[in-house]
């Protein structure tokens, strides 16, 4: 079945460092891909998404490109801030099945130090 694999955390960076959080997927169809962020004590917020191959999603300085050839959707940010400290979840949508169910990765905790 479909699956999402995320890099293990926690990831600890200094402020202004470059961030990459790896996400790879397996899917039989052509899923949409998402990154969500969960700040401490809060629910999940949609960070960005891409619906087809080579699409780039971007928001708040974060970006990720849907790479069908490598089945990847890595999250990047050029210069992280302390306020980016959160848990990041990669997900794919089982849209072709019509159920709109998501498959989530395990989440990657990011800690940014001042």
Q: How far apart are CA 5 and CA 73, in angstroms?
A: 10
* Binding status of residue 45 toward other proteins by CB under 8 A: yes
Please identify, using beta-carbon distances, which residue of 32 and 64 lies nearer to other proteins. Answer: 32
Cβ count near 71 (within 10 Å)? 14
Choices 16-24, 44-52, 59-67, 76-84; region in contact with other proteins by CB under 8 A = 44-52
Give yes or no for residue 106 binding other proteins (CB under 8 A): yes
3-state secondary structure of 37: strand
How many chain residues bind other proteins (CB under 8 A)?
Answer: 22
CB of 19 to other proteins, least distance (A): 20
Do 102 and 93 contact (CB within 8 A), yes or no?
yes
Instruction: Give me the phi and psi of 14, to 5 degrees please.
Output: -85, 155
Please state, in angstroms and as integers, the Cα–Cα distance from residue 107 to each residue in 5, 28, 37, 98, following that order.
9, 22, 9, 25
- What distance in Å separates the CA atoms of residue 69 and residue 88, rounded to the nearest whole number? 23
22 is a site residue for other proteins (CB under 8 A)? no
In the complex with other proteins, the residue whose CB is nearer, 17 or 24, is 24
51 binds other proteins (CB under 8 A): yes
Q: Residue 36 interacts with other proteins (CB under 8 A)?
A: yes
Binding site for other proteins (CB under 8 A): 32, 34, 36, 41-46, 49, 51, 89, 93, 95, 99-102, 104-107
């Amino acid at each position: 079945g479909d699956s999402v694999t995320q890099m293990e955390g926690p990831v600890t960076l200094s402020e202004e460092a470059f961030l990459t959080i790896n996400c790879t997927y397996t899917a039989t169809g052509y899923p949409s891909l998402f990154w969500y962020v969960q700040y401490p004590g809060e629910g999940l917020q949609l960070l960005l998404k891409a619906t087809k191959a080579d699409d780039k999603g971007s928001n708040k300085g974060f970006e990720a490109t849907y790479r069908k050839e490598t089945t990847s959707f890595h999250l990047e940010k050029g210069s992280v801030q302390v306020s980016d400290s959160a848990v990041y979840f990669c997900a794919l949508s089982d849209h072709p099945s019509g159920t709109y169910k998501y498959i989530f990765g395990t989440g990657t905790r990011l800690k940014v130090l001042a």
